[in-house]
Copies of this chain bind each other. A is one copy, B any other.
Amino acid sequence: MPQYRATITVTLRPAILDVQGKTVEHALHSLGFSEVRHVRIGKHITLDLDAPDEQTAQERCAQMSQQLLANPVVEDYTIALEETA
């Protein structure tokens, strides 16, 4: 069965205040990086999975994102797949 490497990026929706991002932005300003704005912090998840085809791999990753990896109320996710074997 083909093997895929999935990269799932989970980000807060634009309308949601990113407290962690704001904290990092203030810290960067304190360190002298005053040219920085709009810091936002999300999750970068990589995993390997077996699937009969790329469409199935995509669907399984979407299910994982909706059930566990992302909070659909406040977060968006994107899935990128690469066939590795």
Contacts and interface: CB of A to CB of B under 8 A. Distances in A.
A35 B50 contact: yes
A42 B45 CA distance: 6
A19 interface: no
Contact of A38 (B9, B40, B48, B64): B48
Interface residues of A, number: 33
Query: How many identical chains are in the complex?
Result: 2
Is chain A's binding surface mostly helix, strand, loop or mixed?
Answer: strand
Interface in A38-70: 38-51, 60, 63-64, 67-69
Interface of A: 9-11, 21, 24-25, 27-28, 31, 33, 35-51, 60, 63-64, 67-69
